[in-house]
Amino acid sequence: MRFTDRFDAGRQLAARLDAYAKRPDVIVLALPRGGVPVASEVAHRLDAPLDVFLVRKLGAPGQPELAMGAIAEGGAVVLNQPVIDELGIPPAVVQPVIARERIELDRRARAFRGDRQAPPVRDRTILLVDDGLATGSTMEAAIAALRRLDPKEIVVAVPVGAVQTCERLGQIADALITVARPVPFDAVGQWYDDFTQTTDEEVRRLLAERQRDSAPRPSFR
């Protein structure tokens, strides 16, 4: 199973999500930036609102790829206490990392939404979309952060994912839906013919297009 690009992956993923179509409680939230083209196709097919959910990983000192936690929209801070304890990371080191990543999270929120506020998620069914799952650390942080905002249900939806990661996250989310879980997996990008990085401008364009498409039409009498 390979995808031409993220849009193709989104169309194939959307075909697995028809049970969520035209439901007023459903909102599609993408992890930017790569999840946005996938999610735009999902939102279009399901006739659902589209937005982003911003999460920033907190890299451990000297090991930036190792997550000692994450921050997310709504002020959520999720700390990976076992990693912090194992590495002996003091709070005086954690807090500056949180502050630095909060600045970047706020910058991205302004870049992607401008003055528009994040959508309310309380009592909503959330389709949380990315372009794939390798380690799943960012998605895990997003799930944990969203839980604090009291959604009705969190459904993780990705075109492709590593088997063990999908099994782990499937126990954390309310449901996890994929198109493929290939073995061996290696990396998300290997399952796409075109895995070009998604730009901030493309994110803004796709969000704006979906907003226009889903806006209420005026009635003429």
- Number of CB atoms found within 10 A of residue 121's CB: 20
Mean pLDDT of 195-209: 94
Nearest residue to 55 (alpha-carbon basis) of 127, 121, 126, 145 = 145
pLDDT band at 216 (very low <50, low <70, confident <90, very high): low
Cβ contact 70:136 at 8 Å: no
> Looking at the DSSP assignment, which residues form a beta bridge with residue 125?
26, 153
pLDDT above 90 covers a percentage of the chain that reads 67
How are beta strands 63-72 and 55-60 bridged, if at all? antiparallel
Helices (H), 15-80: 35-46
Give Cα 140 to chain centroid, integer Å. Answer: 10
Q: Which two tokens stand for residue 193?
A: 């013919």
Residues 6+ apart with CB under 8 A from 186: none
Is this model's pTM higher than 0.75 or not?
yes
17-26, 62-71, 129-138 — most confident range: 17-26
Nearest residue to 34 (alpha-carbon basis) of 206, 199, 220 = 199
Determine the topology of domain 6-53+115-214 in CATH. Rossmann fold (3.40.50)
Residues 6+ apart with CB under 8 A from 83: 60, 66, 67, 68, 69, 89
Task: Return the pLDDT at 213.
Answer: 74
8, pLDDT greater than 50: yes
Report d(CA 154, CA 158) in Å as an integer.
13
Domain spans, the chain = 6-53+115-214, 57-112
87, pLDDT greater than 50: yes
Q: Which two tokens stand for residue 113?
A: 């939404």
220, pLDDT greater than 60: no
CATH 3.30.450 is the classification of domain 57-112: no
pLDDT tens per residue across span 139-152: 988 998 899 889 99
pLDDT tens per residue across span 35-76: 999 999 999 999 999 999 998 888 888 887 778 888 888 777
Residues 6+ apart with CB under 8 A from 204: 111, 112
pLDDT band at 215 (very low <50, low <70, confident <90, very high): low
User: What's the mean per-residue pLDDT of the chain?
Assistant: 91
Nearest residue to 161 (alpha-carbon basis) of 127, 202, 196, 133 = 133
